[in-house]
Structure 1
Amino acid sequence: MTSLMQRWRSLSDEVRRTAVGAAAARLGVPDISERAAWEALDHEAVAALLGEAEKDRAQPWPHTLLSDYARYWRDGVRVAYEEPVGELRRRTAAAVAAAAVTGEESWVDHAADGLQLLCEQTTWCWAAHESFASARNEVVADPDDPYVDLGAAETVEVLAWADLVLGPALDDRVPGLRRRLRREARVRVFVPFLQRRDWHWLGLDGRLHNWNPWIHGHILSAALLLEPDADRQLGLVDLVVEDLSRYLDAMPSDGGCDEGYAYWWNGPARLATALELLDRITAGAFDPWGVPPLAELARYPGRMALGDGWFVNVGDGPARPSTQQPWHVLHRWGRRIGDDDVTAFAATHGSELPTPQPGLGRLVLALFDRDWWAAKPGATGLPRSTWLPETQLFVARDAGLALAVKGGHNDENHNHNDVGSFIAAVDSSPVLIDLGQPTYTAISFSPRRYEQWVVRSAWHNVPLVDGQEQSPGADSKATHIDVQEGVSLALTLPDGAVRRKASLDAGAVRVADTWPAGHEIVEHFVIAGTPQRQRPGELVIRALSGAVATLTWNAELGAGTLERRPVDDDLLSAVWGPEVHRLTIDASALTTFELTVRNTG
């Protein structure tokens, strides 16, 4: 099997060196001096971009404060710093876009202000990732010892694409700024990236996750657009391709993403953007699209869709993520692999105009993607069923109902203790739910991670066995898996006692658990929506979509206990509202329990 690195290295040194050196001219994005190209852009998209930028310009630039940075260590709060620093990047990207589409000097000056503010930051690294400062028992980053993380990568990406599209205007209005951009990229990103090979996101220990393509993709664009030394530039790009190849080699052949749909956009989709840049600068000679499992990875979003903006979510992923996703990336990916279903699924989201939020590079690539703007949404159906055997995720849909069941293990990226948990949706809206991602704090990725109620198995749709919740770790896994594709998934839960079978058939979701006598089994079901009626063996719920779902179970076990849980986390409440409920049923008196979910209105 040919890897990405092998395919890249199959190109001669001369071809690679020429491609990298001519990248700015080959990416297909004009600079601000090519007015005809910018003035021919989609008028609705331009109007939306300018409207956003004008609102930004009416407000003072965000400031990043040491006291906010230090809060990560003081009280575990991350967002106090990450939100304004993210706003500074987004607003700078919006100002760059406004300058490019209008050609106006006032916008160029405004964009230059934002770029300079980014350059003046002591660090581009987020406090949560600043292990160098932590090792010194300090809360102040050292500019002479920069840490390359997602924040550094996101920032250098803005500088790189701003330099490409505004270069001539920056030379005219603010001579010297472009030299400053290159200096910051070299000191903060290129040199530490080349000199150290102990960055955890390289995946040299075999643990690969979304940081790899997310950071490497931004280093790639920065190397192509900001590095003036030809030898260093080629060295950076070769190293990036080697590291991206390692990431792709680690992806399951079924195209699954253990980090879930929301992180797919900053994992596999970041990889696709990086590969597209390499393909463009080599005029198609690189052509990576046949390397497995790229085609399968492109199909993942459509396989996870429930409809109406809802998606199957696992781990730290929202069930209803932001609609501001770069669907043009998926559309181009589908075109590259020749998959009409992928392009059709992406095109159904074409009404979502591109914004700077997912990144300046993604924005400008979208603006000049004529095929994307010409794409018309057509009829596209969701697959009747999906089984991803390596990821161990099963999804079925039928007659307004959907079922998703997760196998896997409890040492996945962004893990929740959720082996065997399931989601049941009515009219697209999940009723029995996976809560998803809470707001990240200092404990989110610490040894205290499983103190968070959202990630514990007690707040997933799995039973409590003999008073014990599921434990984290790769040994806590699903076993004895049996799939009847399109109908059901059966597996043994990590405790080894409970056998679970979940199916979608004959207009109902059915989940049946069996176990040997002598075990204490307490069933848990996490519910979104409004409970309407509860009685022995039955609970009626009005889903968030307005549909009515009826849950039924062994009547001899009674009505169970319905617990209301206020949702005071902003990320969670944005998806589920101010509260969720948990239905608890003690099934210890039996050796079999069956729950049925039907759409009853």
Structure 2
Amino acid sequence: MSIAHQWHALSPAIRSAALDSARDRVGVPELRERAVWESRTASARAAILARADSDRGKPWPHTLLSDFARYWRDGVRTAYEGPAGELRQRTSTAVLAAVLTADEQYVDEAADGLLLLCEQTTWCWAAHESFATARQEVVADPAEPYLDLGAAETVEILAWADLVLGAALDERVPGLRRRLREEARRRVLQPFVDDRRWHWLGLDGHLHNWNPWIHGHILAAALFLETDPATRAQVVELVVDGLDRYLRALPADGGCDEGYAYWWNGPARLASALELLDRVTQGALHPWHCDPLPEVARYPQRMALGDDWYVNVGDGPARPSPRQPWDVLHRWGRRSGDPAVMAQAVAHRKELPEVGLGRALFALVDDDWWQAEPGPLPLPRWSWLPDVQLLVTRQYDGSADGWALAVKGGHNDENHNHNDVGSVIAALDAAPVLIDLGQPTYTAISFSERRYEQWVVRSEWHNVPVVDGKQQEPGRQWRATDFAVRRDAGAEVDLSDAYPTGQLRRVATLDRGEQAVRIVDSWAAETEIAEHFVIAGRPVGHEAGRLVIETLSGGLAELGWDPGLGTGRLETRAVDDDLLAGVWGPAVHRLIIDVGAGRRTFGLTLTRSTRD
């Protein structure tokens, strides 16, 4: 039964009680319940208070019109989104410090941040402010708020702050809570109810991470800030229908075409919203076994290479911050009864996740999470996701040692798409050698018609050939066909439909006996092939048919091919994007081998090397 069916199957009395008593049922106590908050884990408590004390010694971040306008002037998003995010983070930290200590200085700090958020002209990020763009302006109109991720992230802070600090705010700054409710209603709840054209609703069938991300925050705002019962019920009904729409769009294999990094802001956001519904209904809903949620929960372990490296398809870093909200996944595993999911989560336990006041509060009060004993990562020997066409296989079950191989099929109109049909990732001892560059810093062109001017999303900067002088192009019609898994060791895929011309098949395998990865391409005689391989690490040996790379973890990987094809062209490209450089270092490399006429196959073998 779907989430929406479960919700509507509840009696009106149960639904009414869930909404009217949500503050009491959510399981996150307010500041005055000192016994709970003073018993929180010492490491998380110390980290929060250290951050809060550091913040208090600095000026508050300011969001400036000139920075907002840069999106239209020169395409820069971070000039505004950076300080806007710092303001949200500082306010959230102050709320956490206040609830942990009941110290009035932290309550005042939280109140300052909350009012600064209320005083912002817009909560929307410039890149999403299409209302201003339509007016040919760069100044947002407070009378026409745009409901985007920025607005949702901000109202979430107001909602959870009101839940835990309500009485303290009434005592220290009477009237602030009324302002919070007014701003939430005007900027978020009313636009959500009145305008059903928001693209992230997915009413046109195109669903992506904005749906659960925004719906989950609207749910918290409705439960904790909205005082009118009829409006609250209307909002929650719409949220439930929206979340159900997203859930039904998820592939049955549990895959995520937006990749591992966005999994945390897509399916994991859905899990957070469902948990909130589960709590306020006191378990009357049973969402955790709805298809495909049990499979979706396994995605992080299936993408893990080890040592915080991940298979990263689409936008997303190959080595994202390890401080993800792993407690969300742990509770998910507890509710679905999956020990491997719980083991994957607790193996990554840190003080607190980096983002989200609601997620941080849930983590703080989850005693089972803090008491769980970490163990080894449950790295599966192989994982095959047929709906998104992604195979990940490794040399040893449960170990990051040796080679791991990922082979991607799919098509070139996926969410956060890169033109990467047929690309491979090969990692030695967890460290990627053949790489997917991942997400660059977003700018004005990132999601525009000019998206494929970015080098990192073009197929010539993925591990696929250039065919007859042409790269892959964007569009659903450019796809892999006949993707066949070869037991647990590799895949064969037809890439002919991924290119404008030519016929091409690829076989990529992990030979566990030889401890090698092999990539073999074959094509019709009239097809011209230039093989492209994108490489991380430091070249330490290069000759005809051989390239030795010192990997980012200090190992040595050897790439071998027919010496008759010569050395190929080894290019070095400086990485001048901070987000990419944080993963790959100051430079990456590309090996191009022009196969030439008269050949119909090319093979590349990757093995572990020793120093010459």
Task: Work out whether the TM-score is over 0.5.
Answer: yes
Matched, 1:292 2:291: yes
- Equivalent residue for 2:399? none
Matched, 1:570 2:578: yes
Q: Residues of 1 paired with 2:312 and 2:23: CA distance? A: 38
After TM superposition, the structure 1 = structure 2 runs for residues 459-498 of structure 1, keeping only pairs within 5 Å, are: 459-493=461-495, 494-495=498-499, 497-498=503-504
User: Any conservation in 1 of the 2:301–2:378 contact (CA below 8 Å)?
Assistant: no
Alpha-carbon shift at residue 600 of structure 1 (Å) = 2.2
- Equivalent residue for 1:511? 519
Q: Residues of 1 paired with 2:529 and 2:152: CA distance? A: 47
Which of these residues, 561, 566, 571, is aligned with residue 569 of structure 2? 561
Q: Residues of 2 paired with 1:485 and 1:414: CA distance? A: 30
After TM superposition, the structure 1 = structure 2 runs for residues 515-530 of structure 1, keeping only pairs within 5 Å, are: 515-530=523-538
Alpha-carbon shift at residue 522 of structure 1 (Å) = 0.0
Q: Residues of 2 paired with 1:520 and 1:380: CA distance? A: 44
Could you say what secondary structure the match of 2:391 adopts? Answer: strand
Q: Residues of 2 paired with 1:287 and 1:454: CA distance? A: 42
My pick for the range that moved more, 493-502 or 528-537, is 493-502
- Equivalent residue for 1:367? 364
- Equivalent residue for 2:8? 9
Provide structure 2 residue ranges, at least 5 long, that are not aligned to the other structure. 397-401
Q: Residues of 1 paired with 2:234 and 2:81: CA distance? A: 32
User: Any conservation in 2 of the 1:73–1:139 contact (CA below 8 Å)?
Assistant: yes
- Equivalent residue for 1:382? 379
- Equivalent residue for 1:595? 604
User: Any conservation in 2 of the 1:465–1:520 contact (CA below 8 Å)?
Assistant: yes
Matched, 1:415 2:412: no
After TM superposition, the structure 1 = structure 2 runs for residues 196-215 of structure 1, keeping only pairs within 5 Å, are: 196-215=195-214
After TM superposition, the structure 1 = structure 2 runs for residues 49-448 of structure 1, keeping only pairs within 5 Å, are: 49-350=48-349, 352-355=350-353, 357-399=354-396, 400-448=402-450
User: Any conservation in 2 of the 1:217–1:270 contact (CA below 8 Å)?
Assistant: yes
Q: Residues of 2 paired with 1:380 and 1:110: CA distance? A: 40
Q: Residues of 1 paired with 2:364 and 2:49: CA distance? A: 13
User: Any conservation in 2 of the 1:488–1:504 contact (CA below 8 Å)?
Assistant: yes
Q: Which amino acid aligns with 1:236?
A: V
Q: Residues of 1 paired with 2:587 and 2:101: CA distance? A: 46
Q: Residues of 2 paired with 1:219 and 1:425: CA distance? A: 40
Size of the aligned set, in residue pairs, is 598
Alpha-carbon shift at residue 485 of structure 1 (Å) = 3.0
User: Any conservation in 2 of the 1:519–1:588 contact (CA below 8 Å)?
Assistant: no
Could you say what secondary structure the match of 1:287 adopts? Answer: coil
Q: Residues of 2 paired with 1:490 and 1:358: CA distance? A: 40
Runs of 4+ in 1 over 4 A off after TM superposition: none
Task: For residues 463-504 of structure 1, give each alpha carbon's deviation from its aligned partner in whole angstroms, at most 9, with x where no partner exists.
Answer: 000000000000000011111231111111112511001011
Query: What's the TM-score once normalised by structure 2's chain length?
Result: 0.97
Q: Residues of 2 paired with 1:224 and 1:596: CA distance? A: 57
Alpha-carbon shift at residue 326 of structure 1 (Å) = 0.5
Could you say what secondary structure the match of 1:381 adopts? Answer: coil
User: Any conservation in 1 of the 2:343–2:378 contact (CA below 8 Å)?
Assistant: no
Alpha-carbon shift at residue 380 of structure 1 (Å) = 3.5
My pick for the range that moved more, 487-496 or 154-163, is 487-496
- Percent identity over the alignment is 65
Could you say what secondary structure the match of 1:533 adopts? Answer: strand
Q: Residues of 2 paired with 1:416 and 1:588: CA distance? A: 27
Q: Residues of 2 paired with 1:289 and 1:321: CA distance? A: 27
Could you say what secondary structure the match of 1:182 adopts? Answer: helix
User: Any conservation in 2 of the 1:540–1:548 contact (CA below 8 Å)?
Assistant: yes
Could you say what secondary structure the match of 2:534 adopts? Answer: strand
User: Any conservation in 2 of the 1:482–1:491 contact (CA below 8 Å)?
Assistant: yes
Alpha-carbon shift at residue 293 of structure 1 (Å) = 0.4
Q: Residues of 1 paired with 2:521 and 2:73: CA distance? A: 45
Q: Residues of 2 paired with 1:481 and 1:98: CA distance? A: 52
User: Any conservation in 1 of the 2:145–2:187 contact (CA below 8 Å)?
Assistant: yes
User: Any conservation in 1 of the 2:29–2:164 contact (CA below 8 Å)?
Assistant: yes
Q: Which amino acid aligns with 1:127?
A: A
Could you say what secondary structure the match of 2:43 adopts? Answer: helix
Alpha-carbon shift at residue 343 of structure 1 (Å) = 0.1
Q: Residues of 1 paired with 2:80 and 2:300: CA distance? A: 31
Q: Residues of 1 paired with 2:149 and 2:478: CA distance? A: 30
Which of these residues, 486, 499, 509, is aligned with residue 505 of structure 2? 499
